[in-house]
Amino acid sequence: MAKNLVIVESPAKAKTIKKFLGASYDVIASNGHVRDMPKSQMGIDIEHDYEPHYITIRGKGELLAQLRKAVKKADKIYLATDPDREGEAIAWHLANILGIDENKMCRVTFNEITKDAVKKAIQNPRKIDMDLTDAQQARRVLDRIVGYKISPVLWKKVQKGLSAGRVQSVAVKLVVDREEEIEKFVPEEYWNIYATLATKKPKKSFEAKFYGKNDKKLDIHSKEEIDKILDELEKAKYVVSEIKNGEKKRNPAPPFTTSTMQQEASRKIGFTIKKTMSVAQGLYEGVRIPEKGSVGLITYMRTDSTRISEEARATAKTYITETYGKDYYENRYYKAKKDSQAHKKSLEIEEFKKQAEKINNITLDLKVKAGENGKIFGGITAKEISQELKSKQNMDIDKKKIVLKETIKNIGRFSVDIKFGEGINAKLTVDIQPE
């Protein structure tokens, strides 16, 4: 029988997937990354396009030997590491170290470990996504450069043992800023008054909070003020002047993202982020259920999406309608926030690309006053070019993006650099002629 080899990241996941795929498939775990940059040195050739140098992670030699034997025996190989940039990079490293052609349809991904999801992924393999892989490599290179370059400076200037990081250092800055705000805070005394009011019905009471006088809110700042109010309240009569009846509809919360899951786990059950992610990993990879074996109970836990798979939706519908009735089921779809920072950034980059393409294909004609020697009266600045683009091409380009080493002072044709940011640049042809 032809053998197919599936390589995943964790042993727990391997067991669950093996059960779904059957005897014609071997499923082996890589136990995470198999290659990394050496710890004893930078491991990056800064002079040659920041090329990283990878070595086999210590202790992975025996596992890689096992994987090489399995690869030789297999007719088809599937790299089924996690569906994120880290998983994509692991798949790429495995392909390189095991001699698998990364341009072949060898990569499979699934966001939930269910029988249908796994089989569907196997039926629809793809090439390794080098954009995702490069994103992981860029992150890893930046981590290494920041850590290895700045940490020694901290040892010399501040304290031995301190470390710097691409994310860590920024997070520390945010914490420090917040702590400084707390220290500068001037506490202000305030008081609240609560009263437990009895009703005519025995053993019935409710709590009321003091609001103010004559329908105006009154803030209490001292014990003297509160004692005066309490004297007045002791002599007062209490009347329920108005009752508002209404129906309050509350929608269920959307599915968890990584951050909302961590927040709720911390708030409700006191879990650390590490423990939350460890538990979630186990639920994703598979939990042993009597008579069903190992079953994945949640979708992939590293996500900012609230989308629910159609398979999960159908399963939930069947259970709810059969258990409670059709009236208790409502089909809900959750949309990502369109005003998210990532979405805004993406739109901005797309707009930059469009503007750059347009600028590369136009010539901006300017008529100016000039002397017989071709000298311009006054000169052309980035501000003038920005204004002309606005009036003649209807393009709103910030003058700060227009790069002029010096003011243009002669008639003629010039090439002007425009830098939009995010690595997007354009060259504008400016043709300046006398009036």
Ramachandran quadrant class, 23 (left: phi over 0; alpha: psi -120 to 50; beta: rest) = alpha
- Residue-by-residue DSSP string for 337-398: PTT-HHHHHHHHHHHHHHHHHHHHT-EEEEEE-B-TTSEEEEEE-HHHHHHHHHHHH-----
Q: What is the DSSP letter of 59?
A: T
Average pLDDT, the chain: 88
pLDDT given for residue 335 in this prediction: 67
Per annotation, catalytic residue among 148, 211, 284, 300: 300
pLDDT given for residue 342 in this prediction: 60
pLDDT given for residue 2 in this prediction: 53
List phi, psi (to 5°) of 16: -65, -45
pLDDT given for residue 88 in this prediction: 95
Among 48, 29, 33, 139, residue whose Cα is nearest residue 92: 33
Domains of the chain: 4-136 (3.40.50.140), 194-234 (no CATH), 258-328 (1.10.290.10), 343-434 (3.10.430.100)
How much is the average pLDDT of 220-246? 88
pLDDT in tens, 300-356: 888 888 888 777 788 889 999 999 998 888 888 776 555 456 656 667 787 888 888
Answer whether residue 168 shows pLDDT above 70: yes
Among 150, 30, 41, residue whose Cα is nearest residue 100: 30
Answer whether residue 283 shows pLDDT above 50: yes
pLDDT given for residue 70 in this prediction: 92
pLDDT given for residue 344 in this prediction: 64
Cβ atoms of 94 and 291 closer than 8 Å: no
pLDDT in tens, 82-91: 999 999 999 9
Instruction: Give the separation between CA 64 and CA 98, rounded to whole angstroms.
Output: 8
Which range among 50-64, 332-346, 380-394 shows the weakest confidence by mean pLDDT?
Answer: 332-346
How much is the average pLDDT of 419-434? 87
Answer whether residue 373 shows pLDDT above 80: yes
pLDDT in tens, 119-143: 999 999 999 999 999 999 999 999 9
- pTM (predicted TM-score): 0.62
Which range among 35-39, 65-69, 73-77, 328-332 shows the weakest confidence by mean pLDDT?
Answer: 328-332
pLDDT given for residue 1 in this prediction: 46
How much is the average pLDDT of 52-57? 93
As given in the structure block, the two tokens for residue 378 are 């006054």
Answer whether residue 115 shows pLDDT above 60: yes
25 is an active site residue = no
How much is the average pLDDT of 94-116? 90
As given in the structure block, the two tokens for residue 430 are 């400016």
pLDDT in tens, 177-230: 999 999 998 888 889 999 888 888 877 888 889 988 888 889 999 999 999 999
